[in-house]
Structure 1
């Protein structure tokens, strides 16, 4: 995806994704995190959540996706903070919203607020990313 040269402080965009059972199983295979809270219905039914929850880092991975889809490819993550505040259940639809809060154009560095919410408005993840923007944006 081409870089968006109109990116500056205040730029906001979002991506909406349904978190599926298939995604959870694929993430478990990729990460090696086979915690039964994510994979075992009977186990999860006995927890405080009452059912299976998605791995928190699926939301983290989808933040990475949103950065590329909304800002453009070619950039590099320099850092990401994440605070998990509510669970994502299987088949929840979540919206990843990014908002640029600072840009150091001379360095090609941007700070981005990265929040994830469910369709019902519940905040799921609060975070902040620091990214090196793609080469096309360095002089935008």
Structure 2
């Protein structure tokens, strides 16, 4: 784990976190979030959906960006202010996800960094794209 101040961050800096999304992850996320949508939890229901299989919660995948921002770049002490995301492809159980953040804009006066956020699956296809605004530690 790292802890960078705004002066330590440069436009173009990149960090990532990788994780295989498991049955247990989806079950736990449902319990914590209260999102029991059957497309995430019920195989027979999901087979009838446009995805033809169970998918992970979008919020679960977004949470991986929080992992990167809060532990790697900027790291410990980071305050997550905003996230916008577009869900491009479904994430299925047992997909391997690489959540990446890349510093795009730095505002030293306000102590804010805008990051491009992209999550890729094991086929290197973008599944979630967006931006996150954070406040690094002082």
Q: 1:2-24: per-residue Cα shift (whole Å, max 9, x none)?
A: 41353211101211111111010
How far apart, in 2, do the equivalents of 1:7 and 1:16 lie? 22
C-alpha displacement at 1:106, in angstroms? 2.3
Structure 1 residue matching 2:72: 3-state secondary structure: helix
Q: Does 1:108 align with 2:111?
A: yes
Q: TM-score, normalising length from structure 1?
A: 0.92
C-alpha displacement at 1:117, in angstroms? 0.7
Give the match for residue 15 of structure 2: 13
Q: Runs of 5+ in structure 2 lacking a partner? A: none
How far apart, in 1, do the equivalents of 2:130 and 2:61 lie? 11
Give the match for residue 30 of structure 2: 28
C-alpha displacement at 1:134, in angstroms? 1.2
C-alpha displacement at 1:73, in angstroms? 1.1
Q: Runs of 5+ in structure 1 lacking a partner? A: 136-140
Q: TM-score, normalising length from structure 2?
A: 0.93
Give the match for residue 55 of structure 1: 57
Q: How many residues align?
A: 135
C-alpha displacement at 1:45, in angstroms? 1.2
Give the match for residue 66 of structure 2: 64
Give the match for residue 3 of structure 1: 3
Structure 1 residue matching 2:91: 3-state secondary structure: coil
Structure 1 residue matching 2:124: 3-state secondary structure: coil
* Aligned-residue RMSD, C-alpha: 1.1
How far apart, in 2, do the equivalents of 1:13 and 1:66 lie? 7
Contact 2:4/2:137 (<8 A) preserved? no
